[in-house]
Structure 1
Amino acid sequence: MLRRGMPAASHNSSAHASEDISEDGAAYDAVIVGGGHNGLVAAAYLARAGQRVLVLERLGRTGGAAVSEQTFAGVDARLSRYSYLVSLLPQQIIDDLGVRFAVRKRGVSSYTPTVRDGQSTGLFVGDGTTRTRESFARLTGGEREFEAWERFYAMTQRVAQRVFPTLTEPLPTREELKARIGEDAVWEALFERPLGEAVEEYFADDLVRGVVLTDGLIGTFSHAHDPSLLQNRCFLYHVIGGGTGDWDVPVGGMGALTDALADAARSAGARIRTGHTVQRIDTDGTTAEVRYSTADGEGTVAARRVLVNASPQALSQMLGEGEAASPAAGGGESPVSGSQLKVNMLLRRLPRLKDTAVDAREAFSGTFHVAEGYGQLAEAHRQAEAGDLPAVPPSELYCHSLTDPTILAPELAAQGFQTLTLFGLLTPAECFDAGSAAERDAVRDAALARTLAELDPHLTEPVGDCLALDADGRPCIEAKTPRDLEGELRLPGGHIFHGDLSFPWAEEGGGRWGVETAHPNVLLCGAGSVRGGGVSGIGGHNAAMAVLEAEGGRGAAPVH
């Protein structure tokens, strides 16, 4: 049961890499492999329960993929380099662990530019019902699409209110979750039939249909009528966060969250060691030995349990079981492949829009959709499935610094500098498998150029003309393909969810919490667990709850 989401933020050093971690030869209660946000959540819960906990992190910092970094040389702007918004993180985890972390709401949900009858226009969603209704009317010439929009998202919000609380409880069965939702027509629309059928039943306008469908394609290679329902699973996770579906801006960037989680784990008594790469896990089901390497050599540490905040593929290798393909949610086996292009930019100024009805500061503070009409998404999928980069790549952007300027140095903010994050869709890893490094770079550059070429026609000046320059005079822009993420973060196939997402219910023969493996004392605690994924902490929480429940809830951590 694999699935979902990217890890967590940056903390300190590898100063402890060579320090003895054996605790006088005594075994730890839990060794946690990987100091991403899920591993830190698990560590904090278990340490608060009085357990002896050790976190081993390969990199020189904690945080995994949820980090804030000074991305461009000599420029004091700390970007959330890999993951960038928060939706699935339960407030319960923040409260339980006493984490000092804040998010800010976005006043604008989305803006989608287009051209109708030769005129630049667009769909603006946000700033109250009246303005959204007027935008729909301007785009579509009537009330029908707006009313359908209201009905559709009232439905998804009811689902969110009923499903989200289950993510930190033992897994329900499929029938239990269906009963909890309590609406047969809704269950059929979102859990039984391809999402495209519901989208087409509710909406008539191609642009509106596309905006709705995009939540089913984030980091996921699928299409509206995919019979596997992969798009439905992805859509569900993108509309249930917090019981509202809101996507919030982390104050201080993603690194603020994972730094706070690392502090919470340390304060509870967990030991965190960076620069420690776990090479092998040996277990007899009751005790385990973890072998690791550092810059200074190798070592081993004993533990009663091992919680792995890494992909199921990485766990398989650590256990000496080879590099097995991920079980696809629909059955059978298939290679894991990410499907996104992540682009970070720093601008000297925001470009203005050709659509004079919307201010750029509003449009870019929400999700700015580009080339995401329903027909465009279908054609992009068709081309990528054939092995080609989409000619018209779909993407979405947002400007973190409009909501949270603290990620910029005061002088940059005063001069009007802004960050811009772009997330491209339907660009699977296989599109970037050219032969040499130079050829792979050329394909990445082509993907970036095509993507920005779809944005520029909606602006009064090319976005490239607005880019800041780093200390070496280079434009402040970087692009990350799935293969880049695979190399830098060890995400299998560059998949931000570690593999295809699963529906949040128990499968026959599966575990109670969705974190169990074939070894009783080895658990997944990250994105590869059922209901893991996004910046949520849910995988870490559920693995900790599974441990504490197995021990009769021993210690002070709450079991929900």
Structure 2
Amino acid sequence: MGARAYDAVVVGGGHNGLVAAAYLARAGWSVLVLERLPEVGGAAVSRQVFPGVDVRLSAYSYLVSLLPDRVVAELGLQVALADRAVASHTPVAGGRGLLVERDEGPATAASFRELTGSDAEYAGWRRLSARLAALAEDLAPTLTEPLLSPAGLAGRLRDPRLWHDLRERPLADVVADELAHDVVRGVALTDGLIGTGADVHDAAGPAGRCFLYHVVGNGTGRWRVPVGGMGAVTGAMAAAARRAGAELVTRAEVTAVELRADGATVHWTDDDGTAHAAGAGRVVGGAAPAVLDRLTGRPPRPTPDGTQLKVNMVLDRLPRLRSGVDPAVALAGTCHVDEAAGQLDAAHAQAAAGRLPDVIPFEVYCHSLTDPSVLGPAERAAGRHTLTLFGLHTPAVLFRADPDGTRAEAVRRVLAQLDAHLAEPLADCLARDADGRPCLQASSPLDVEASLAMPGGHIFHGDLSWPAAATPEQVGTWGVATDHPRLVAASSGGTVRGGAVSGLGGYAAARHLLDPG
């Protein structure tokens, strides 16, 4: 490949790097994307995880909410996002649990009444939902605009008090303003804890920021299943970049980035260990900030601590529930297990004290109920299904002393907790791969770190930021500048509005370079 010079070299071919590459190439820039792994997509990929089982699982990230329609339309992304039939179900011992329909109706109201004994809790749920819906409608359009000051953003909102409260008050208190029941409060609070090991009682803590991003996506806050799995999303982004003329190179391990006043040189090695270099007018950092620090020779920053346990499974059949609720209903949306507010608090306290929680709060999703296309024809005919489990409050630090043993114990605990709500052991429902092994794959934060070069296994690369300017100098910018004019951030943790599979970091990086005025 020689020492060809490009207008921009993108380090990291995750979804943000691909979005930045597509926009820059569409504007006529020459663009090279370098990805360490054999495929682009980063954490948003689909894989056949189990030998001989024709199922393509979303290996890491698994749902889409924040990807703006604007980005989909402008890049011509061929992406289909399917709504789940149910928003959530929460099993409760001795009862039928709490059902929240996608479009709430009499069944949701009846479920709240049965769980709580009156209609008061559902009325509070409706009030909170209405306030969040208005916030989503008002805030989402600002995510693809230059940064506003916090006050300027508040001026765009019909309910600036909610924006203020999420930023200044503990998330637990904001939720408790409307909700009193332990289970119902927990269902709401989990949106502040996905990938974020926070104390929901801390004022101005990361839980409020995480909650905000989980409820405002694309003006609705609705989390949808990408048809074909997450790899279909990043595959469409890669196709858009290639159509525009960007050059995508995989198995390219970037080893150094030399920054100068007049440009940069990016060094990498291929699978054979052969060294390559390319000149760049600008370098776009699609990798985590800590990775860019190492590549550019900056002092390393503290490693963030990822907090999630991810378990991918394939089932021969859906398990029956003790409550008698149809598993095709209970598992169609987000199935909350042991995520009552008190359980979230207890798990956080134990994790903060250096212990694996006795009861690990987690969520379960059966995406094949919404998108059967991820199943091969034979698997579909046999009635097989996918099952994804996402555990909270399982920080990376707990796994460092004994990675395999701690992972195995965490899996044992969450399966036992799930079994407590099932009429048959989940193990009896697991499919077997070609070697006769159960179709279950678990990843701790350390496994994510090793697979994706994601420091600490933190899925957001660090704590999320409020989607507004942090300083007066940031107002009117895109929030992606670094301390060197030739390096622009595009990753989740390196940008003000990064986080989740949104493309917002890549979009902002491209806008920063294309609209410098």
With normalisation by structure 2, the TM-score equals 0.97
Structure-1 separation of matches of 2:455 and 2:155: 35
Which amino acid counterpart does residue 336 of structure 1 have in structure 2? P
Aligned-residue Cα RMSD (Å) equals: 1.2
Structure 1 residue aligned with 2:175: 199
Contact 2:134 2:158 in 1 (8 A): no
Q: Does 1:516 align with 2:481?
A: yes
Which residue, out of 292, 304, 307, partners 1:315? 292
Shift of 1:230: 0.8
Structure-1 separation of matches of 2:226 and 2:123: 32
Which residue, out of 363, 388, 399, partners 1:432? 399
Structure 2 residue aligned with 1:487: 450
Structure 1 counterpart SS, 2:256: strand
Q: Equivalences for 1:53-452 in 2 at 5 Å?
A: 53-115=31-93, 119-126=94-101, 128-296=104-272, 297-325=274-302, 335-356=303-324, 358-434=325-401, 439-452=402-415
1:88-110 residue CA offsets vs partner (Å, 9 max, x unmatched): 00111111011111110112100
Contact 2:360 2:392 in 1 (8 A): yes
Structure 2 counterpart SS, 1:458: coil
Q: Which region of structure 1 is more displaced relative to structure 2, 70-79 or 198-207?
A: 198-207
The number of residues matched between the two structures is: 512
Which amino acid counterpart does residue 547 of structure 1 have in structure 2? L
Structure 1 residue aligned with 2:420: 457
Contact 1:66 1:84 in 2 (8 A): yes
Structure-2 separation of matches of 1:187 and 1:100: 34
Structure-2 separation of matches of 1:185 and 1:59: 45
Which amino acid counterpart does residue 366 of structure 2 have in structure 1? C
1:443-480 residue CA offsets vs partner (Å, 9 max, x unmatched): 10001111111111111111111000000000000110
Contact 2:31 2:246 in 1 (8 A): yes
Which amino acid counterpart does residue 525 of structure 1 have in structure 2? A
1:150-209 residue CA offsets vs partner (Å, 9 max, x unmatched): 000111111111111111111111111111124343233322211111222211111001
Structure 2 counterpart SS, 1:114: coil
Which amino acid counterpart does residue 139 of structure 1 have in structure 2? L
Structure-1 separation of matches of 2:127 and 2:323: 27
Shift of 1:549: 0.5
Which amino acid counterpart does residue 349 of structure 1 have in structure 2? R
Structure-2 separation of matches of 1:268 and 1:185: 43
Structure-2 separation of matches of 1:497 and 1:482: 12
Structure-1 separation of matches of 2:214 and 2:301: 28
Structure-2 separation of matches of 1:440 and 1:301: 38
Structure-2 separation of matches of 1:187 and 1:484: 36
With normalisation by structure 1, the TM-score equals 0.90
Which amino acid counterpart does residue 465 of structure 1 have in structure 2? D
Structure-1 separation of matches of 2:309 and 2:326: 26
Structure-1 separation of matches of 2:255 and 2:375: 38
Structure-2 separation of matches of 1:209 and 1:229: 18
Structure 2 residue aligned with 1:6: none
1:490-537 residue CA offsets vs partner (Å, 9 max, x unmatched): 111110000001101111244711111001120111112111111111
Structure 2 residue aligned with 1:39: 17
Contact 1:120 1:458 in 2 (8 A): no
Structure-2 separation of matches of 1:471 and 1:144: 52
Structure 2 counterpart SS, 1:232: helix
Identity of matched residues, %: 53
Q: Which region of structure 1 is more displaced relative to structure 2, 279-288 or 164-173?
A: 279-288
Structure-1 separation of matches of 2:126 and 2:294: 48
Which residue, out of 29, 38, 49, partners 1:51? 29
1:342-375 residue CA offsets vs partner (Å, 9 max, x unmatched): 000000000111122x311011010000000111
Shift of 1:228: 3.9
Shift of 1:266: 0.6
Structure-1 separation of matches of 2:34 and 2:18: 10
Structure-1 separation of matches of 2:163 and 2:512: 29
Structure-2 separation of matches of 1:291 and 1:424: 38
* Deviant stretches of 4+, over 3 Å: none
Structure 1's 163 and 429: CA in aligned 2 closer, same or farther, altered over 3 A? same
Shift of 1:128: 3.5
Shift of 1:543: 0.3
Shift of 1:34: 0.7
Structure 2 residue aligned with 1:15: none
Which amino acid counterpart does residue 443 of structure 1 have in structure 2? T
1:78-135 residue CA offsets vs partner (Å, 9 max, x unmatched): 00000000000011111101111111011210000112xxx23200000531111011
Which amino acid counterpart does residue 520 of structure 1 have in structure 2? P
1:49-101 residue CA offsets vs partner (Å, 9 max, x unmatched): 01111111111111111100000011110000000000000111111011111
Q: Which region of structure 1 is more displaced relative to structure 2, 495-504 or 217-226?
A: 217-226
